[in-house]
Amino acid sequence: MLKKPPFGLFITGTDTEVGKTYVATHIAKDLVAAGHRVGVYKPVASECVSDGRQLVSEDAVALWEAAGHPLTLEAVCPQRFQAPLAPHLAARNEGRELDTELMRSGISAWADECDIVIVEGAGGLMSPISDDEYFADVAYDLGYPTIVVAPNSIGVINQSLSALITAACFRDGIPIAGVILNDARMFDGDVSMETNREQISSRSVSPVLTRLRYEGDEFDEQIDWMMVAQQTLNATEA
């Protein structure tokens, strides 16, 4: 059996560059402020940069700092690659192979070190991690409620519903905590930004949990993220 923290949230997105890390760091900061010991885990990262000694994931650094520097950066992100490709392809570009088992087992470092762990994927649920596996496989195997980060712009209704349908249909279903709308850019006349939340909510059984404004310091609503993790997990086990 996989050794892991009892509670967690898996952060995925409708696509790449939708603000997963930005949202995840805000969740981590909220949990720290509420007095929880917070773990952060990014199973793999591509497009890393060299600091002269090793490859560093800027996303992993942001997560680590938001959680108050728990454990080490190596524990946050044990597999790092340089090329801006899907992880298994980025690994092969360096003459290496991505360890998909380590993507799961690496979370064991956090088992006794936190009350809740925030796990950030790469891309979306169907972003590949091998020739026959996807990030959805990792999300499913870890078993934590999943939050879908969606860019608050025209087209997000389709993107969000597609991600939710994917989660529901993958194997026997990935538990979904809800959607977070992220204003990834300044208002530029896109009037859908003010209607997307209602439209997604009216078409989905999964809630739109909240919205994060452009360069905002806090979510629109004050959310008890530990309760979100606990309630969603309990609902799926009932």
Q: Give the pLDDT band (50/70/90) at residue 238.
A: low
The CATH number of residue 47's host domain is 3.40.50.300
Distances (CA, A) of 71 to 75, 87, 149: 7, 24, 26
Query: Does residue 80 fall inside a structural domain?
Result: yes
What's the pLDDT at 3?
95
Distances (CA, A) of 201 to 143, 195, 198: 24, 10, 5
Q: Where are the alpha helices (DSSP H) in 15-134?
A: 20-33, 58-66, 73-76, 87-93, 100-105
Query: Does residue 150 fall inside a structural domain?
Result: yes
Mean per-residue pLDDT for 51-65? 96
Q: Whole domain around residue 161: which residue ranges?
A: 8-237
Mean per-residue pLDDT for 233-237? 64
Query: Does residue 1 fall inside a structural domain?
Result: no
The strand pairing partners of 181, in sequence order, are 150, 211
Locate 26 and state its tokens: 């805000």
Indicate whether this model's pTM tops 0.85: yes
Q: How many domains does the chain have?
A: 1
Is 42 marked active-site? yes
Query: Does residue 100 fall inside a structural domain?
Result: yes
Dihedral sign computed on CA atoms, order 135, 140, 144, 146: positive
Query: Does residue 218 fall inside a structural domain?
Result: yes
Q: What is the bridge-based pairing of β-strands 8-13 and 116-120?
A: parallel
Mean per-residue pLDDT for 133-152? 97
User: Catalytic residue among 3, 4, 20, 42, which?
Assistant: 42
Q: How far apart are CA 12 and CA 179, in angstroms?
A: 10
Locate 109 and state its tokens: 């470092």
Summarize pLDDT for 64-81 with one digit per residue, the tens. 999 999 999 999 999 999
Summarize pLDDT for 91-123 with one digit per residue, the tens. 999 999 999 999 999 999 999 999 999 999 999
Strands of the chain, DSSP E? 8-13, 38-41, 49-50, 55-56, 116-120, 146-151, 176-182, 208-212
What's the pLDDT at 188?
83
Percent of the chain surpassing pLDDT 70: 97
Query: Does residue 3 fall inside a structural domain?
Result: no
Query: Does residue 171 fall inside a structural domain?
Result: yes
Q: How far apart are CA 85 and CA 200, in angstroms?
A: 30
Query: Does residue 2 fall inside a structural domain?
Result: no
